[in-house]
Structure 1
Amino acid sequence: MRVLLLGADGFLGRHVAERLVADPAVQLTALGRGDDADVRFDLATGAPGVLARFVDAVHPGVVINCAGSTRGNARDLTRQNTVAVATICEALRRSAVGARLVQVGCGSEYGPSPSGASTGEDAVPRPGGPYGVSKLAATELVLGSGLDAVVLRVFSPIGPGTPTGAPLGRIAEALRRTMQNGDAELKLGGLAVQRDFIDVRDVARAVHAASLSAAQGVVNIGSGRAVRLRDMAAALAHVAGYDGLLHEIDDHPAAGPGHGPGPHPPYPDGCGLWQQADVRTARDRLGWRPRIALEESLADVWMEAACRV
């Protein structure tokens, strides 16, 4: 099976690439903006006709889109997350190949959920910020494209390569600096939020499964269990062997970015205090379940942070 992977140089894309390369039945071509990609192409500025010709040349059975951006202003997010997907859909419509599209979306498309509730694919999306809005718009483009396509709404991915801009990545970096400086106290903010954390390698397995399936529409990818960020921070400190005090700052979203040394604002993803995925559709339609425990994910997050210079 020939697979064209878009966004191969990103956090999710790198793990998806590793998963696909490990499958001897897959012939992988990676497209991205970095030097490691087989082909360099910017989806936000490139022409659909150019991409269509490239798709025809590669002749993939599946196109997987892991490209996108989690940070930036509304205009940048729209270009990277929405315009890019419009380019992909138009290119696949123009192509004669008839490739299947696996689009990687995100849990932020749903927005805040009632505490204690699991969010299913039939929930009405109400994204609470520009990132979620841009990803939801991309999902709507895919679903309305007429293509053979599935959208995987990934909740909160963690594991090897977790960006320092993500909440857990920021905590790991703050912990590394605290231990390096010999400080007896680590101050963190925004720890009250509860998120559905899922290992990025499990996400890669889900993408692989989706590429082989006939599933269409939206499929949630998560652990099915919300965990308080405060507990994740404490577990990460335990893994790191930090015996100092974790001091929680009583910050509030109204304070806005740039206030306090911890993750701020407490929920910049626009998802409020609680998010938990209903993952029954992934089990039923993809034959997928998460395998990697949070403890292993956290150990890998810390290993990379500790080795950072």
Structure 2
Amino acid sequence: MRALVTGASGFVGWHLCEHLVAAGDQVVGLSASGRWPEARAGLSRSVRLEAVDLADVAEEVLADLIRRKRPEAIYHLAAQSNPSRSVDDPRGTWALNLGGTLNLLEAVKAAGVEPRPRVILVGSGVCYGNPAPEHIPVREDCPLRPNNPYAASKGAADLLGIQHALGHGADVVIVRPFNHAGPGQSPSYVLAALALQVAEVEAGRKARVEVGNLDVVRDFTDVRDVARGYRLLAQRGRAGEVYNLGSGRGTKIADAADLLASMARVPVEVHVDPARVRPVDQPLLVADSSKLREATGWEPEFPIERTLADMLDHFRGGLSA
């Protein structure tokens, strides 16, 4: 399969590119920087990376690229993906998350390629906001109640995708992944922050692990399972449909911290830092992914214990380098 991946140099992007290459796909990546992270420089041998800023690209330039590459599947991952950062920069978040999606979908339409490429539009489970108890686990028909600019912009981009599917016959499949994690994730996300700090305590660089709200429950899926789910949707999803992607298992942050502490090579103290408690923290968010499972046969293969162990090993390697 010929694949185009936007946001290819990001955390999920390069995991997806690695998965697609391993599956035998021909992959072209788009990235605002046009550069792979140093740790993934080897991907340049198998994935051509083009410098394209989706928030600021001419429609004809992008349409011409689509005509030349003729992708069968376009995985749209490019986004400002940090909810906390979106509060500080709402305009930049909307410009990329909604504006970039509009630029891509209009370019696909203008390219006029037949057969039309399938667009896997990556949304987010956080667009459901703080669901009422009767909506847990969260199905795709749960009302959208976003409580930060990231969540709102992703929900709006989903509606744009549905509009293009219904109004223009675009082959758009929307996927809403819930929280995901894995080796290489930025420590601006909670599990990566915990794993890095445990590695720093082991290395004698920190006295203890600092955390925010330990009572929050999230549905964490390994990024490698997420990447596999995206490709399965490219093969078996239905145009115009929305699919939740999550393990279906809720993990309390306190339990994740305890698991990481139990893997540590030295005793680890965990301390709650009020400054790390976000102003808007959803207490419970767990996915119902039965629609995805029925459509594709997807099942998560990486338990949370394996994900945390691999993340901890990743940070150990970085600190010893």
Question: TM exceeds 0.5?
Answer: yes
CA deviation map 1:268-308 (0-9, x unaligned) = 6x551100000100111122111111111001110111222
The amino acid of 1:272's aligned partner reads Q
Superposition TM-score, scaled by structure 2 size: 0.87
In the other structure, the counterpart of 1:215 is 238
Distance in 1 of aligned mates of 2:96 and 2:277: 23
For the Cα contact (< 8 Å) 2:124–2:154, is it kept in 1? yes
Aligned counterparts of 1:4 and 1:143: Cα–Cα separation in 2: 20
Partner of 1:133: 152
- Are 1:302 and 2:307 an aligned pair? no
C-alpha separation between the residues in 1 aligned to 2:303 and 2:109? 40
Aligned to 2:64: 53
What aligned pairs does 1:1-309 form with structure 2 within 5 A after superposition? Answer: 1-24=1-24, 26-33=25-32, 34-36=34-36, 37-71=48-82, 72=85, 73-97=89-113, 98-115=116-133, 117-146=136-165, 147-181=170-204, 185-216=208-239, 217-249=241-273, 251=274, 259=275, 263-265=276-278, 270=280, 272-309=282-319
Give distance in 1, aligned partners of 2:281 and 2:301: 25
Amino acid aligned to 1:169? A
Farther off after superposition, 222-231 or 32-41: 32-41
**What CA distance in whole angstroms lies between the structure 1 residues aligned with 2:250 and 2:215?**
12
Is the contact between residue 246 and residue 289 of structure 2 (CA under 8 Å) also seen in structure 1?
yes
Distance (Å, rounded) in 2 between the aligned partners of 1:205 and 1:63: 15
The structure richer in helix per residue is 2
Aligned to 1:254: none
Equivalent residue letter for 2:214: L
Q: Identity rate of aligned residues, in percent?
A: 32
Does the CA-based 8 Å contact 2:202-2:264 persist in structure 1?
no
Contact 1:239 1:298 survives alignment (8 Å): no
Quote how far apart the aligned CAs of 1:87 are: 0.4
Q: Give CA deviations for 1:214-239 in whole Å, capped at 9, x if unaligned.
A: 42321001000111011001111212
Q: For 1:182 and 1:13, how far apart are their aligned partners in 2?
A: 31
Q: Retained in 2: the 8 A contact 1:110–1:271?
A: no
C-alpha displacement of 1:163: 1.2
**Alignment match, 2:41:** none
Q: 1:176–1:214: structure 2 CA closer, same or farther, 3 Å change rule? A: closer
The CA deviation at 1:183 is 5.7
Any idea what SS the aligned residue of 2:119 has?
A: strand
Q: How far apart are residue 264 of structure 1 and its match?
A: 3.2
Residues 198 and 312, structure 2, Cα contact 8 Å, conserved in 1: no
How many residues are treated as equivalent by the alignment? Answer: 294
- Residue deviations 1:129-188, cap 9 Å, x none? 111011111111111112111111010111111211101112222223333337664342
CA 178–43 in structure 1, closer or farther in 2 if over 3 Å, else same = same
TM-score (norm 1): 0.90
Q: Which has the higher contact order (CA 8 A, sep 6+)?
A: 1
In 2: Cα distance, 1:184 partner to 1:49 partner: 54
Q: Give the AA of the match of 1:134.
A: S
Question: The residue matched to 2:56 in structure 1 has which SS?
Answer: coil
Greater Cα shift, 53-62 or 168-177:
168-177
2:77, 2:289 → 1: CA distance? 20
In 1, the alpha carbon distance for the partners of 2:132 and 2:253 equals: 17
Alignment partners' CA distance in 2, 1:246 and 1:8: 35
Indicate the SS of the match to 2:74.
strand
